[in-house]
Amino acid sequence: MGKVKDLAYQRIVVKFGTGLLTGATDCLNQELMSGLVTQVAELHKRGRELIVVSSGAITSGRYRLGLSKKIRGIPYRQVLAAVGQSRLMHVYDQLFSRYNITVAQALLAKADLANRAGYLNARNTLLALLELRVLAIVNENDVVAVDEIKEARFGDNDNLSAMVANLVDADLLLILSDIAGLYTADPHRNTGVHLIPQVDRIDAEIERLAVGTSSNLATGGMVTKIEAAKLATASGVTLVIADGREPDVILRVAAGEALGTRFLPTTSKLESRQRWMLSGLCTKGKLVVDSGAATALKKQQGSLLAAGIKQVEGDFQQGDIVNIYNPDKSRLGCGITNYSSVDIATIKGVHSREIATLLGYDYGSEIVHRNNLVVL
């Protein structure tokens, strides 16, 4: 496949999984980490903008406290993260200081990013750190993230890293773990499988491959990586999944070498408000449209009208963000709705002129206005 445009990858988010940082043991492996840090430092020296998303806090805390893996639950996980996060940062601080790079800890919680102000604050902080040439090391704020409420946590750093790439409008997200990429079948259980070098679009077949692939990783597996790939590529970011133990992997991928599996962006760069809408952080419901509406929206023609809506799901109000789906249930995009879910249930499928009669009021003929719509 050869090289792709090297300079295109100016802003790079690199994610290190727990399995990689520990060398599949129960504690951080500083020698392995040192090799990764050296590569990040080299790119930093060459003027690239980098952000690291690092797992390993919980494992590190567990090791420090000498506790068994069998003890689980909350607040146990939160205690381990509280102990381990400072140790993790201590190691990074020491390793990066060899290259005179100052590190910063950025702990993100999903709930904080769900509102627009929180999203912008996190974005501004990360961008300011990049400008100051300080290396942000991001993790989920596991101390406050509530496990029981699935929606309130990222839960895995694959999804978190895609959110970071979306936040800062990165060119490349490089997810490094102990698996070389996406295979045609589970490499742990099958022979004759081969690595898929490039995915142009994540379809049902790619999702099926991910579900069938096991992983030694602590939290993420291929499923969370594909979720991350969906968000990253929809946000205009290229994502590469590669084996972090491959020599000089960060330098080589950043130079455009075809290593691992590369997922191509499905949109060109989007503006910040559109990326926030696409992040799914704040999506309240779902609209399924008919094929006529789907075609028109994809051709960037007009707004979404009531007549084109087949189905409405979820409980949302006027002004909320909703996901929009094709008739085959694949995601078409998202947008800000002018009508609540209750209203849409009444007016779906009807001509715009009937809205006022059916509801007794009318907020205009567009359910989602073209200007408030992001099509993937």
Which positions touch ligand GLU (CB under 6 A)?
17-18, 55-59, 139-140, 142, 156-157, 218-220
- Would you say how long the chain is, in residues? 376
How far apart CA 85 and CA 83 sit, in angstroms, is 6
Q: Which is nearer to ligand GLU, 227 or 343 (CB)?
A: 227
Q: Which is nearer to ligand GLU, 46 or 69 (CB)?
A: 69
Q: How many CB atoms lie within 10 A of CB 255?
A: 14
CB 135 within 8 A of CB 52: yes
What is the H or E stretch that residue 117 is in?
Answer: helix 116-131
Q: Which is nearer to ligand GLU, 219 or 323 (CB)?
A: 219
Using alpha carbons, select from 62, 68, 69 the residue that is nearest to residue 88.
Answer: 62
- The neighbouring-strand residues paired with 311 are 288
Cα angle, residue 210 at apex, residues 205 and 211 outer, rounded to 5°: 100
How far apart CA 322 and CA 290 sit, in angstroms, is 16
DSSP-assigned states of every residue in 203-239: -HHHHHHHHT-----SS--HHHHHHHHHHHHHTT-EE
CB of 330 to ligand GLU, least distance (A): 26
Q: Which is nearer to ligand GLU, 57 or 229 (CB)?
A: 57
Q: Which is nearer to ligand GLU, 11 or 225 (CB)?
A: 225
Q: Which two tokens stand for residue 221?
A: 């597996």
What residue has token string 């079948």?
Answer: 185
Q: How many CB atoms lie within 10 A of CB 295?
A: 13
Q: Which is nearer to ligand GLU, 281 or 322 (CB)?
A: 281
Q: Which two tokens stand for residue 48?
A: 């690239």
Question: 3-class SS at 50?
Answer: strand
Check residue 174 and report its DSSP letter.
Answer: E
How far apart CA 36 and CA 185 sit, in angstroms, is 28
